[in-house]
Amino acid sequence: MNAAELSPLLAGYDNVILDLDGTVWLGSTATPRAPEAIAAIRAAGKRIAFVTNDGSLTPEEYVRKLWSIGCTAAVEEIVSVGSAIQYLLGGRAPGATVFVIGSAPVFKHVTDAGHRVVNGQPEAEQADVVVVVAHAELHYRELLIATRALSAGADFISGGMDRNFPTHGGIAPGTGAVTVALEYATGRRARSVGKPDPQVFQVALERLGGGRTLVIGDHLESDLGGAHAAGLEAAVVLSGITDSDAAHAASDPTPVAIAENLAALVLSR
């Protein structure tokens, strides 16, 4: 694979920010020829960041998953919503109490930011901060404790407002669905750090350095809208949540390109 096999679209960009679910993979399977597309981007000397609203894995686990489907990656290229939450919480005085709705990697991001997770502790309902990232073992009691903590004045941080995300079996509810339930229960509004909030893209841009950057994703609101909020151009692939009619109807903003999948967008043949 060499740079000549990249599509003309990529010629004007120095960096590429790639979404994961629906763009690079569906579940545990790569989208068609995604490893070839990523290899071609690298061979052309372009820098890559992988940005995801999924907080179920650590950056190291994302790297292992990418390698398992044939895509090379490094930890510093992974910007998960957990990374963005850690970045935000890192600006707060250390030692805050945090109630977490999320999987184990989110807990680690909170503690790595210098704060104390109080899940299972008596003070959970009086936590200083509530962090919300959808996870497979979500329980009503988590919503109950979060509702009480938020009603008592806790700060409210969400890992993103995605309504849903694609899986092999069909769409699944995303962090946005859980966040909106808590907003409705409490009358509070969350500070979202996941896509489409530009914060997660800013974290990626800091790691990439200078140059012109293209965002590639499957979600009009999260990927296209988030890129626009961060001042970046975006292309949409149809291998995930967005269908052709919706992609071609998008006008505010308008994608710079639409393709069936990552390889069709990135490769010239």
Domain boundary among 160, 192, 224: 192
Residue 4: predicted pLDDT: 43
- Phi, psi at residue 97, to the nearest 5°? -90, 135
Residue 169: predicted pLDDT: 86
Q: Are 221 and 239 contained in the same domain?
A: yes
DSSP states along 197-244: STHHHHHHHHHH-SS-EEEEES-IIIIIIHHHHTT-EEEEESSSS--H
Question: What tens digit of pLDDT does each residue of 142-159 get?
Answer: 999 999 999 999 999 999
Of 85, 185, 99, nearest in space to 142 by CA:
99
Does 77 map to a domain? no
Contacts of 245 (CB under 8 A, 6+ apart): none
Residue 192: predicted pLDDT: 94
Domain boundary among 192, 219, 254: 192
Q: Are 206 and 246 contained in the same domain?
A: yes
Q: Say how many domains are in the chain.
A: 2
| Domain membership of residue 262 as a residue range | 3-53+196-266
Residue 169's CATH number: 3.40.50.1000
Residue 159: predicted pLDDT: 95
Of 144, 180, 186, nearest in space to 161 by CA:
180
Domain boundary among 192, 220, 240: 192
Question: What tens digit of pLDDT does each residue of 11-59 get?
Answer: 999 999 999 999 999 999 999 999 999 999 999 999 999 999 999 899 9
CB 26 within 8 A of CB 46: no
What is the pTM for the complete model shown? 0.90
Residue 1: predicted pLDDT: 40
Query: Mind listing the pLDDT tens digit of every residue in the chain (269 residues)?
Result: 444 489 999 999 999 999 999 999 999 999 999 999 999 999 999 999 999 999 989 999 999 999 999 999 999 999 999 988 999 999 999 999 999 999 999 999 999 999 999 999 999 999 999 999 999 999 999 999 999 999 999 999 999 998 988 887 888 999 999 999 999 999 999 999 999 999 899 989 999 998 999 999 999 999 999 999 999 999 999 999 999 999 999 998 999 999 999 999 999 98
